[in-house]
Amino acid sequence: MDGQTLQSRIYYGYKQAAAHIGLSYSQYRPSSAVNALAGANLVQSLKASFTVRDPAWQKASDYGKATWYCYADGSQLQRGDYLTGNGFTYFISQMESLLPITAVLCNRTVNVFRPQQTTGVGAQPYGGNTASNQTEIVTAFPGSILVSSKAEKSPVNLPGDVRSGWWTMLLPPIPGGVVIEDHDIVTDDINNRYVISTAELSELGWRIEMMEAET
């Protein structure tokens, strides 16, 4: 038996498992950087089951865990697809040969902006980022935003100061080759605003470190 045949049998096994224990999800395949879950991106409804990286289905979810195993017909899926239903939204992040399909559980819907700062100094106009001088490059994409392990100490260092929190965001690759950069601005569906510190794109998608911004 060659690898391709074995892979097709594994995906068929996932399909059979999902048919028995899975629930129905709507599958979306974004075609642009705008509104990943738009009606035009709907592919089909399919059965899927998710577990917290535990093939035995013996573990419940825990804090700070974004990645899950997805059991569904892998022949119908691609990296970057979204599965939404039953109160949850996931995107497919990895489909390595002969290994479980990995999905990311999304808890926020985000927009990404590219700041266009002026270069003037002194008596020139204000050079910081404002809503009027930023360009939206990603609109309404579900992703994962979870607390990072690090925090930033306030430079003022007053007795009542607390460290500014850092966050880790996971997103799929954005259609159209959109590149997310350091210093881009992120907003989410609960009106939080973040500044990106580092942005890494791999075969899993985007992994981004960012700090919550006050303005």
* Letter string b/e over residues 122-150, b meaning 16 or more CB atoms within 10 A of that residue's CB: eeeeeeebeeebbeebbeebbbbbeebee
- For the ranges 77-81, 96-100, 148-152, the maximum mean pLDDT occurs at 77-81
pLDDT at 158: 53
Per residue in 122-140, pLDDT tens?
A: 555 555 555 667 899 999 9
C-alpha–C-alpha distance, residues 111 and 193, integer Å: 10
pLDDT at 170: 98
Per residue in 161-201, pLDDT tens?
A: 555 679 999 999 999 999 999 999 999 999 999 999 999 99
* Residue 215, pLDDT above cutoff 70: no
* Residue 78, pLDDT above cutoff 90: yes
- Three-class SS state of 5: helix
Measured over all CA atoms, what is the biggest interatomic distance in the chain, rounded to whole angstroms? Answer: 73
DSSP state of 34: B
Question: Tell me: domain 108-212, CATH 2.40.10, correct?
Answer: yes
C-alpha–C-alpha distance, residues 34 and 112, integer Å: 11
Rg for the chain, CA atoms, rounded: 20
pLDDT at 56: 74
- Residue 118's pLDDT band, with cuts at 50, 70 and 90, is low
- Three-class SS state of 178: coil
Query: Which part of the chain has CATH 2.40.10?
Result: 108-212
9-13, long-range: CB < 8 A, 24+ apart:
10/74, 10/98, 11/73, 11/74, 11/75, 12/73, 12/75
pLDDT at 8: 93
Which region, left, alpha or beta, applies to residue 191 given φ > 0 means left and ψ of -120 to 50 means alpha?
Answer: left
Per residue in 6-57, pLDDT tens?
A: 999 999 999 999 999 999 999 999 999 999 999 999 999 999 999 987 777 7
pLDDT at 152: 57
pLDDT at 120: 55
